[in-house]
Structure 1
């Protein structure tokens, strides 16, 4: 059965996805005669989600599938997956970051397995900052313009920072700004380029660690949790609708070094989303063993 129309929130996200993938949102053209079907992937505006989703879009379209990418806030993505608006989501962080969404929607989505188990949430500062621990940040807040720069308001990292990090380390006196990941990265680039101190919410793996001189503040109270895993999740009908793709996603593995390599090519060495397709094509050619693992 064809999935229901996207909600207005998701439709808005789809428009934003034009900038991410260069695909035409809302394209209702008929599939070509040899199409294997249309797969709708939901993603948050996180760089590993953009990288991995565009990677699978490229691989699957080479094989005759049609793939739509839609960007939206995490809540809208999980809702869309649970209602069948999306077939699959490739960037679910567990056991901490997205646990609240799993508690809400877990009965209506299906785990396809973890593809990376090296992810961690961080509070990062410029490498030459005069502090090394979150315990020191409150007493030195003025050195960071009394500001902690965050990402999207609906992100799990934002919730953890607000509910746990800030009260644990007495950071209530700092201005915690949340807007978007691109906005945070823009401020990070400007500050490090000017030799100024800056504190941001970040995560590993992320290409920013290769692009900017950064260090993670120690978290002696463990407020940001231990290492997390990145999972793929499908809709309730995904395994029946696309059994071969589901099996391949269950077998999918990508370590942080490989992910960093792809992210660097897509984001650190490029600032135009229209180039993603060509970059991925070249990157796969340069990484034939990994390319073979995606098509096995």
Structure 2
């Protein structure tokens, strides 16, 4: 099974931020720049964040806020998964918080196993799906081919290079005989716009999606059953650190916090919804994080206990 999954940017503003990140500008506004490697034990922490992976963006922004409140200087650096894992192995990034296992990122973890360390899973409810409007006439992927007309003979996908796209093309479509449906892969923002339009029009739609994602809070949708298991099993979201950095006694406090970090999907949805749905035109997430943290103060306080 292919193991690279790309995700969505929340808006044109977020696309701009990510583009800046690719030229070594940080997302947090006080970036130290991509030419400086993070120094273990200095009170500075560099977090590698996958471009467009919203659950990773959300928890990275949350942890940047939490750690800065504890007196650390945090630099969020955006890149695609491959360079993040490579940079993690060389300590250009100290930590990344969005490793999908046991399948999606297994190749990266295996490649850099000698230089990175697993700090544990913080969410155990991640999975890939085909989602439909809640009143759609089918319940399972094995019903889609014979009911294709009800969905205008279309499957709305995400980015062409996404792992979910490749799994759909190589596993789901042949497994369920969906070759006669048009499968569009123009991008995740386009998929979400199609989903919004269909919801407003009261029309049936089938889209490729994943959990956790704020769309499950924002739209009346449900997942189709996958009786053949073509989309794979549940995956866990892990935090990984550079092994040398994690072994440095000066970083023991932060390592301990991250090892104990957990966040269920409902709580994550609420944070993602505030960041990427309710506030689509913002570039600075910090005020949103601060407001969300105040509303969830007991949870946030527990992250550093």
TM-score category, normalised to shorter length? 0.7 to 0.9
Give TM-score scaled by structure 1 length: 0.84
Q: How does 1:141-180 map to 2 (within 5 A)?
A: 141-180=148-187
**What per-residue deviation string (whole Å, max 9, x for no partner) do you get for residues 238-290 of structure 1?**
30453321221111011112112212222232113335211111111111211
Q: How many residues align?
A: 282
2:302 equivalent in structure 1: 293
- CA apart distance, 1:16: 8.3
Provide the aligned C-alpha RMSD in A: 2.8
Q: 277-286 or 194-203, which moves further after superposition?
A: 194-203
**What per-residue deviation string (whole Å, max 9, x for no partner) do you get for residues 126-160 of structure 1?**
12222211112122334333332223344432332
Question: Which of 103, 109, 117 matches 1:110?
Answer: 117
Quick one: distance in 1 between partners of 2:88 and 2:169?
26
Q: How does 1:115-264 map to 2 (within 5 A)?
A: 115-240=122-247, 242-264=251-273
Structure 2 segments unaligned to the other structure (5+ residues): 1-17
Q: 50-59 or 160-169, which moves further after superposition?
A: 160-169
Quick one: distance in 2 between partners of 1:152 and 1:83?
29
Contact 1:84 1:235 (C-alpha < 8 Å) held by counterparts: yes
Contact 2:45 2:94 (C-alpha < 8 Å) held by counterparts: no
Quick one: distance in 2 between partners of 1:54 and 1:139?
44
- CA apart distance, 1:224: 1.9
Contact 2:115 2:244 (C-alpha < 8 Å) held by counterparts: no
**What per-residue deviation string (whole Å, max 9, x for no partner) do you get for residues 145-203 of structure 1?**
33322233444323322322122111223333334433322222222222222211112
Relative distance call for 1:218 and 1:247 in structure 2 (3 A) is: same
What SS is found at the alignment partner of 1:273? coil
Give TM-score scaled by structure 2 length: 0.81
Q: 246-255 or 170-179, which moves further after superposition?
A: 170-179
What SS is found at the alignment partner of 1:60? helix
- CA apart distance, 1:116: 0.9
Quick one: distance in 2 between partners of 1:72 and 1:243?
26
Quick one: distance in 2 between partners of 1:211 and 1:146?
25
Quick one: distance in 2 between partners of 1:126 and 1:250?
37
2:76 equivalent in structure 1: 69
1:23 equivalent in structure 2: 29
What SS is found at the alignment partner of 2:129? strand
Contact 1:16 1:71 (C-alpha < 8 Å) held by counterparts: no
Contact 1:41 1:67 (C-alpha < 8 Å) held by counterparts: no
